[in-house]
Amino acid sequence: MLVIRAMAVIGTGLIGTSVALAASRQGVTVFLSDRNPVAARTAAALGAGRAEDPPEPVDLAVLAVPPSHIGAVLAELQKRELAHSYTDVASVKSGPERAALHHAPDPSRYIGGHPLAGRERSGPLAARADLFQGRPWALTPSPLTSDAALRHARELVALCGGVPVVTQCQVHDDAVALTSHVPHLVASLMAARLREVPEEVSRFAGQGLRDVTRIAAGDSLLWGDILQANAASIVGVVKDLHEDLARLVAALDALAEPDGAERVRGMRTVVDLLDRGIAGLAEIPNARRGTSVEDIPVRAAVADRPGELSRMLDALADFGVDADDVTVEDAAAGEIGFTVAFAVPARVADRVVAELMAEGWAAGPESGARPGWSEEGSALPAVRT
């Protein structure tokens, strides 16, 4: 089994320094270098490693440089025999792989890598040892990548607490175009509309606007490099967006028309676009907390008295059920009050129901929600008044 004892980090910006911090804390000897010597020394002073060249080849060299520099830096380091294996952390993978295959003295020792983590701020001071904790980390072996290089890279991911996702460079690049590069461009385009606005406008800025535009704050030269490196994957998505925007302009023009039929058509297009957005959101994991397969639906009856529903919501909050995840319906025919429906993890369902009933509420899992739950429990008794 390979074990990383020593590694080199080339480029001590946000990502390089965070990798170095994580590895140093796991006992790895880390050698730091950066085009800007103050950046490497700053990283060293933060405890990320030593700002010096390794005295002998290290196990793994991590290239934390812009995507367009990876080919040249890799070739130079391999000529110097800096390390046994090499990886990088650039957010684009096809270009670096192509460069490695064409220019590196030994492409078998290189494997592309990309930790899906970052911050709006850059530089070593923004680094955090836990930046990659639980985050996906793409590894994109080329047809020539050796097993040793793949294993070294997997170990790096483990040292940093990341979750390895082994995939092909083109699959990766198409994915990040959609999940990272185009969102960055969209945030920039939106933020650019805010230049030189009257004061009233900025007073009305809320959290929504801040969220939509937040990631536009990245370094424009580094981002220019990233976008250039992935232009082929990005342009397809941007063209689709451009077509949608053309449809939207036509729909908004129609909505401003006096003609009723035109407006109905415009409204249909706009609502369809909004609905497509809602459908797309559902594809983002954890974007909206949904009911997990481990959750059990529960219903409880609440009297129609001021404060009674709040009391129930407070009780549910103690079980980690957010008010946003509760729905309220009219009580069944012949009863008064409400029925509230929510879901709780299977392991606590019994306790939740028991405690709600102890507090005087009629409660039970939804019929058929779980085999084995007694029928008495699932029938809602009459509302407590």
Residues 168-187 that bind a copy of itself (CB under 8 A): 171-172, 174-176, 178-180, 182-187
Please, are residues 338 and 329 in contact by the beta-carbon 8 Å criterion?
A: yes
The interface region with a copy of itself, picked from 52-60, 96-104, 141-149, 238-246 by CB under 8 A, is 238-246
Q: CB-wise, 46 or 58, nearer to a copy of itself?
A: 46
Count, residues near a copy of itself per rule CB under 8 A = 126
The interface region with a copy of itself, picked from 40-48, 82-90, 152-160, 349-357 by CB under 8 A, is 40-48
Contacts (CB under 8 A) with a copy of itself, residues 335-364: 338
* Shortest separation between residue 118's beta carbon and a copy of itself, angstroms: 8
Q: E-assigned strands of 200-359?
A: 295-302, 327-330, 338-345
Query: What is the DSSP secondary-structure string of 173-233?
Result: HHHHIIIIIHHHHHHHHHHHTTTT--HHHHHT--HHHHHHHGGGGS-HHHHHHHHHHTHHH
The reply on whether position 274 binds a copy of itself by CB under 8 A is yes
The interface region with a copy of itself, picked from 3-11, 59-67, 306-314, 350-358 by CB under 8 A, is 306-314
> In angstroms, how far is CA 127 from the centroid of its own chain?
18
Select from 133, 202, 291, 385 the one that contacts a copy of itself (CB under 8 A). 202
> In angstroms, how far is CA 97 from the centroid of its own chain?
24
Residues 141 and 97: their CA atoms lie apart, in Å, by: 9
The interface region with a copy of itself, picked from 75-83, 115-123, 358-366, 377-385 by CB under 8 A, is 115-123
How many angstroms separate the first and last alpha carbons of the chain? 68
What's the token pair of residue 63? 């290239």
The reply on whether position 234 binds a copy of itself by CB under 8 A is yes
Residues 298 and 363: their CA atoms lie apart, in Å, by: 7
The reply on whether position 315 binds a copy of itself by CB under 8 A is no
Contacts (CB under 8 A) with a copy of itself, residues 129-168: 135-136, 138, 165, 167
Q: CB-wise, 335 or 350, nearer to a copy of itself?
A: 335
The reply on whether position 314 binds a copy of itself by CB under 8 A is no
Based on the number of CB atoms within 10 Å of its own CB, is 12 exposed (0-12), middle (13-18) or buried (19 or more)? Answer: buried
Please, are residues 154 and 115 in contact by the beta-carbon 8 Å criterion?
A: no
Select from 220, 360, 381, 382 the one that contacts a copy of itself (CB under 8 A). 220
Q: CB-wise, 42 or 78, nearer to a copy of itself?
A: 42
Cβ contacts of 8 within 8 Å, gap of 6 or more? 30, 31, 32, 33, 54, 58, 60, 61, 62, 77, 82, 83
The reply on whether position 188 binds a copy of itself by CB under 8 A is yes
Per-position x/- string for 43-82, each x denoting binding to a copy of itself as judged by CB under 8 A, each - no binding:
-xxxx--x--------------------------------
Residues 316 and 352: their CA atoms lie apart, in Å, by: 8
Contacts (CB under 8 A) with a copy of itself, residues 243-262: 244-246, 248-249, 252-253, 255-256
* Shortest separation between residue 320's beta carbon and a copy of itself, angstroms: 16
Per-position x/- string for 362-381, each x denoting binding to a copy of itself as judged by CB under 8 A, each - no binding:
--------------------
The reply on whether position 275 binds a copy of itself by CB under 8 A is yes
Residues 7 and 32: their CA atoms lie apart, in Å, by: 9
> In angstroms, how far is CA 314 from the centroid of its own chain?
31
What's the token pair of residue 177? 């175009």
The interface region with a copy of itself, picked from 82-90, 146-154, 217-225, 375-383 by CB under 8 A, is 217-225
The reply on whether position 383 binds a copy of itself by CB under 8 A is no
